[in-house]
């Protein structure tokens, strides 16, 4: 019997280079079978799983491996095809299925891939469920390999598109131009269709996936081409998705790039003014800029601070009954949208909320504190406060920043990197202090 290492779930499922563990066929077959075993505990009725992907070249064989495991556990598999993570999460919640699997590595390059598993209510699996999946994947005896039975369910995506018409029944974008950059990923077909359904003139940027060009100089991480398109076509808004569409960056009519913090500031103020912000609070992670806290504080809105990750934002919003939350990176969650991070929904809601007002005017009132983030590749991830040189340098920098800035030092949940972030009153201080700490991290732990 072939043995495997326990697949390690990160903050957003399994992720890695396609073909290498845990993204190799044997591990994925076992993960599929383990998920099937967990689902079968829920009674004798036929179990169903939906699967979608963001267009990477490795998606077909990853789907086949997962389906082999699921079918061995007598689970029916429906293939939605090219889609976004939020579209699949919505379908999981709204259709009679027991789970869903998104094959995606989000903003990572094309040679990577991953799997995100959703429970029947559309939420990401709990840590304890992922731990049990990992243990089962190692313990299960692989079944005889058979060609899996999958059913084409791409027609379900129409239900997701209908959701927009239901959510914004009065929105008419006739005569307005919107640019959409789908990062050559999962939203490449969906996003333009949704915008055109509202009557918009749509300019497509990076909406031609070929399996290898996802996130390649485009999308939420690289909005430069979108900025140029907005200016060239006189668009009222540019929407930049990441590869799987769960985050969005936005470009106003002047070409200004607006991130998740600015989106949260805009909606936080407007929802509070409308009496639609329970507890006068939003949820945001420790990575959010101090400028967000200041802008909301001046409007009478507080911030529930969470650890990094949209799952942590989701949990805080559920626990405190909040209407809005998100991350600087572009994950924005609305209670009115089932707490699903969805860059396209955020963009359409911006268009509906701001109306004819220029986007640049709507975003005014947010002043960003200078911020510097450095990702340091590391060979291992020991507790950072247990590495004396790193702990001492971090303490020194925090003393220097005092009340006028902050330091955030943490490991990436999905990559072998340490993130060093500094906010300070000046750009020079940010650059100097961040570089100094990053150098110590690289010296002590660098790959």
Q: Could you list the active site residues?
A: 106
CA 86 to chain centre: 9
Distance of alpha carbon 10 from alpha carbon 410, whole angstroms: 14
The owner of tokens 């469920």 is 129
Angle (deg, nearest 10), helices 85-94 and 343-354? 90
Name the residue among 363, 361, 362, 358 with its Cα closest to residue 176.
358
Strand 237-241 relative to strand 248-251: parallel, antiparallel, unpaired?
Answer: antiparallel
- CA–CA separation, 9 and 230 (whole Å): 38
How many other CB atoms sit within 10 Å of the CB of residue 132? 15
At 319 the three-state DSSP class reads helix
What HEC string does 99-127 produce? EEEEECCCCCCCCEEEEEEEECCCCECCH
Task: Name the residue among 33, 87, 83, 95 with its Cα closest to residue 59.
Answer: 83
In contact, 317 and 333? CB cutoff 8 Å = yes
| Residue 435: CB atoms within 10 Å | 13
C-alpha torsion 358→359→364→367, nearest 10: -150
- Enclosing H/E stretch for 407: strand 406-411
Contact 128/136 with Cβ under 8 angstroms? Answer: no
DSSP 253: T
Start-to-end Cα distance in the chain: 34
Paired with 119 in beta bridges are 99
Give every CB contact of residue 121 below 8 A, 6+ residues apart in sequence: 92, 93
Name which of 328, 324, 326 is nearest 336 in CA terms. Answer: 324
**Using CA of residue 14, residue 16, residue 19, residue 20, what is the dihedral sign?**
negative
- Pair 50, 94: CB distance under 8 Å: no
């Amino acid at each position: 019997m072939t043995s495997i290492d326990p697949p390690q779930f990160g903050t957003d499922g399994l992720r890695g280079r396609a073909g290498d563990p845990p993204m190799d066929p044997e591990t994925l077959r076992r993960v599929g079978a383990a998920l099937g075993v967990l689902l079968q505990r829920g009674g004798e009725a036929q179990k169903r799983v939906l699967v979608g992907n963001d267009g990477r070249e490795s998606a077909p064989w990853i789907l086949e491996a997962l389906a082999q495991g699921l079918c061995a556990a007598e689970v029916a598999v429906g293939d939605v095809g090219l889609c976004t993570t939020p579209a699949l999460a919505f379908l999981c919640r709204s259709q009679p299925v027991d789970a869903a699997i998104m094959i995606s590595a989000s903003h990572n390059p094309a040679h990577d891939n991953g799997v995100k598993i959703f429970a029947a209510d559309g939420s990401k699996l709990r840590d304890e469920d992922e731990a049990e999946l990992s243990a089962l994947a190692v313990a299960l005896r692989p079944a005889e390999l058979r060609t899996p039975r999958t059913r084409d369910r791409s027609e379900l995506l129409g239900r997701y598109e209908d959701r927009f018409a239901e959510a914004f029944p009065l929105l008419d974008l006739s005569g307005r131009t919107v640019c959409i950059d789908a990062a050559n990923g999962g939203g490449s077909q969906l996003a333009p269709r949704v915008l055109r359904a509202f009557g918009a003139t749509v300019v497509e940027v990076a909406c031609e996936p070929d399996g290898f060009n996802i996130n390649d100089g485009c999308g939420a991480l690289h909005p430069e081409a979108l900025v140029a398109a907005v200016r060239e076509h006189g668009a009222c808004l540019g929407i930049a998705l990441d590869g799987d569409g769960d985050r969005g960056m936005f470009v106003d009519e002047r070409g200004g790039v607006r991130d998740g913090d600015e989106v949260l500031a805009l909606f936080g103020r407007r929802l509070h003014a409308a009496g639609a912000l329970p507890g006068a609070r939003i949820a945001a992670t420790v990575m959010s800029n101090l400028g967000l806290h200041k802008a909301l504080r001046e409007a009478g809105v507080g911030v529930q601070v969470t650890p990094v990750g949209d799952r942590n934002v989701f949990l805080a919003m559920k626990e405190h009954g909040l209407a809005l939350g998100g991350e600087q990176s572009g994950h924005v969650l609305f209670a009115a949208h089932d707490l699903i991070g969805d860059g396209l929904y955020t963009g359409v809601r911006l268009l509906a909320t701001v109306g004819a007002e220029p986007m640049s005017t709507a975003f005014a009132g947010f002043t960003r504190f200078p911020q510097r983030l450095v990702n340091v590749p590391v060979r291992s991830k020991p507790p950072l406060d247990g590495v004396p040189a790193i702990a001492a340098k971090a303490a020194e920098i925090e003393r220097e920043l005092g009340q006028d800035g902050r330091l955030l030092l943490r490991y990436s949940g999905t990559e072998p990197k340490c993130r060093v972030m500094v906010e300070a009153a000046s750009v020079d201080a940010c650059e100097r202090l961040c570089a100094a700490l990053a150098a110590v991290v690289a010296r002590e732990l660098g790959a």
